[in-house]
Amino acid sequence: MTHRTVQDAGPTATATPTRPLLDRLHSGTPLLGDGATGTMLHLRADLPSDACFEALVLTAPDVVLGLHRDYVAAGVDVLSTNTFAANAVQLRRHGHADDVEAINRAAVDLARTAIGDADVLLAGTVGPLGVPMAPYGRLSAEEAKGFFVQQMRALEGVDVIALETFGDHGELLTALAAAREVHPDVPVIAHATFARDDRTVLGVLPGRVAAELHAAGADVIGVNCSGGPAQIQRLIEAMRRSVPDARLSAYPNAGFAEQVGGRVLYPATPQYFAQATERLRAVGVQLVGGCCGTTPEHIAAMRTVLDDPTPPAPIAIAAPTVAPTSDAPTLEPTELGYRLAKRQFTVTVELSPPRGHDTARLLRAAELLRDAGAHLIDVADSPAARMRMSPWAAAQVLQSQVGLETILHFPTRGRNLLRVQGDLLAAHALGLRNLFVTMGDPTRIGDFPEAMDAFDIAPSALIGTIAGRMNVGEDLGGNDIGRPTGFTVGCALNMFADDLDHELDVLERKMEAGAHFALGQAVFEPSRISRFLEAYEARHGRPFDLPVLMGIMPLFGTRQARFLHEEVPGIVIPKAIFERLDAAGDRAPDEGVAIAEELVEAVRPLVAGAYVIPALGKYELAARVVASATR
């Protein structure tokens, strides 16, 4: 084992390594990085696994210094600072948002102290922000880059910037751009992390990650965290196939974690890691270390292997095979897509799935509407966050037993990226090819207010995934899904919004993403449609051409109308309608149907169709409106 000399250089030591990283990577022997920081501090400081370990450089510097010194003594060539989550976003959760500079500078000083005059390079570690970036979250790329820049400016005096454990390679590219801006002459290691299926959390394969990082100028590309050494080897081989000339790095976990007595433990032994080091070296890794669960003992075992004068024979990596192109015929357009393309006035009616498993009433309502002339049925997904049957099951039952095409409402709320894509493929397999993408109602207003309410992807981004990815044969990560899907996808639109500029901004994103149609908010003042159309044309210099199925809601009484007017955002019912309902007395439902019929005729020249929204399951009123609209 090669031992490094450790001296107490003091908190402001700035010892400079004798050889830069890129020269040393081509010495013929892989460089050795250190092991876990977080899991080791979790054990040594006796802190919970969700503690702010980065703050220990201020509150318990001796614990951090001791860990660094143990790694240097184990024989590392590259030592990492304790700054993985030392960005403002992550630190804010622990009350340290104002300590970004102090924590990062103190971490650099402690690591330099541990290195002393040893021939060890210092890597400034930068991890992800911990919140999703747009379009999957609210954090823009510019905002994310700003947080990375802030942290990296405080990492003065490091020899390397090490970007680690990025599940979203888009965020990793953003961090890489920040590193190039702040430290243009400092080499950058870019580590992605992958799930057990060898894809990132967004479904991107390692070959594409490697190619894009290499093209963006990363000096070293590779993998950290993920699973154990066996998975890391597969991932590295895929990266090498994609970018044969890249410098490669691998920092595997010590296997998959398990919880024992409140502590997070990892099963892989130092001896196993020593054997894995030989295999990683054989597939071309030039920098190897450890991530979660690895200890100074693991690193010392790896040092012994790397110091062996007889390295293993290189392993040849086969060239990637080209997937065969599907010769399946192109899907015909849906009935909805056909009607919209032919500019045929289209009438659809919203049905809610049953609260139990009995579909008899649902089928009777659909048959009534079909016989009245409805062209399609909209199937809502948990309207008002109430527990109901899965809309896929309801839609498939309707299509198979009633013979009407459906528009499946598809909210993003409550779905992560894996479920979103799986649900889309399942819907297509069931023949449900018309989708209405929406945010969905918040769970706090429904039957189970404690239910998970998060989402990974905004409606405009999901529309882009469907229209621009799946409909051309790719998943969200750009990976082949075989035969392309044939979805017709719609978005929500409120032509009557008080803030039309904001509504137009949102609509523009949805149209750019590829929306094929929109479902409009219920209309009671048709003149306001013209106001929207004029605003759109004034902004864009061209007429509005996205087909809209305008909401039509048959009213059945003054009380219902008052509730809609006062409590439902976006619905404004003029005084004249209240007067007509009041005057009708017991015949208010009939008057409501008459009003709805008049509204359909008023909007017919302005929109592509009507989206009839029955209130409280009063499908017989909706059927009368449908019959009038389609005769």
Please give the Cα distance from 395 to 398 (Å, whole number). 5
Neighbour count for residue 563 (Cβ, 10 Å): 13
The more confidently predicted of residues 198 and 289 is 289
**What local confidence, expressed as pLDDT, does residue 421 receive?**
86
Q: In the chain, how many H helices and how many E strands?
A: 23, 18
Which two three-digit tokens encode residue 616? 């409280």
> How long a stretch of residues is the chain?
631
Q: Using an 8 Å Cβ cutoff, are 295 and 322 in contact?
A: no
Do the strands 258-260 and 263-265 form a parallel or antiparallel pair, or are they unpaired?
A: antiparallel
Q: Which of 81, 601, 33, 605 is nearest to 299 (CA)?
A: 33
Please give the Cα distance from 363 to 360 (Å, whole number). 5
Sheet bearing 31-32, strands edge to edge: 31-32, 285-288, 248-252, 220-225, 188-192, 160-166, 121-126, 78-80
| Local structure of 443: helix, strand or coil | helix
Cα dihedral across residues 540, 542, 545, 549: positive or negative? positive
Given a cut of 50, whether residue 318 has pLDDT beyond it is yes
Confidence of residue 42 (pLDDT cuts 50, 70, 90): confident
Given a cut of 60, whether residue 5 has pLDDT beyond it is no
Chain centre distance of CA 358 = 35
In sequence order, the 6+-apart residues with CB closer than 8 A to the CB of 251 are 33, 164, 191, 222, 223, 224, 225, 232, 288, 289, 290, 291
Which backbone phi and psi does 265 adopt, to 5 degrees?
-120, 155
Q: Which of 277, 253, 264 is nearest to 193 (CA)?
A: 253
Please provide the average confidence, as pLDDT, over all residues in the chain. 86
**What local confidence, expressed as pLDDT, does residue 417 receive?**
75
116-120, 307-311, 400-404, 455-459 — most confident range: 116-120
Per DSSP, what are the bridge partners of residue 259? 264
Neighbour count for residue 363 (Cβ, 10 Å): 17
Q: For 270-299, what is the mean pLDDT? A: 92
Q: Which of 160, 214, 217, 224 is nearest to 191 (CA)?
A: 224
Given a cut of 60, whether residue 154 has pLDDT beyond it is yes
**What local confidence, expressed as pLDDT, does residue 248 receive?**
97
Given a cut of 50, whether residue 3 has pLDDT beyond it is no
Which two three-digit tokens encode residue 331? 């899907």
Given a cut of 50, whether residue 614 has pLDDT beyond it is yes
Longest dimension (CA), the chain: 99
Percent of the chain with pLDDT over 90: 59
DSSP letter for 324, please: P
Helix axes 360-372, 619-630, angle to 10 degrees: 20
DSSP letter for 87, please: S
Which backbone phi and psi does 495 adopt, to 5 degrees?
-70, -15
The identity of residue 260, as a single letter, is V
Q: For 262-283, what is the mean pLDDT? A: 78
| Local structure of 158: helix, strand or coil | coil
In degrees, rounded to 5, the angle at the alpha carbon of residue 55 between the alpha carbons of residues 63 and 181 is 115
Please give the Cα distance from 69 to 12 (Å, whole number). 16
How many CA atoms lie within 13 Å of 195's alpha carbon, on the beta-carbon side?
12
Q: For 159-173, what is the mean pLDDT? A: 95
Q: For 13-32, what is the mean pLDDT? A: 72
Cα dihedral across residues 533, 534, 540, 543: positive or negative? positive
Is the pTM for the entire model greater than 0.95?
no
Please give the Cα distance from 21 to 195 (Å, whole number). 29
The identity of residue 322, as a single letter, is V
Q: Using an 8 Å Cβ cutoff, are 186 and 180 in contact?
A: no
What's the pLDDT tens digit per position in 219-233?
A: 999 999 887 888 899
Residue 389: C-alpha distances to residues 138, 359, 394 (Å): 31, 9, 7
What's the pLDDT tens digit per position in 200-225?
A: 887 788 999 999 999 999 999 999 98
Q: For 62-79, what is the mean pLDDT? A: 97
Q: Using an 8 Å Cβ cutoff, are 183 and 159 in contact?
A: no
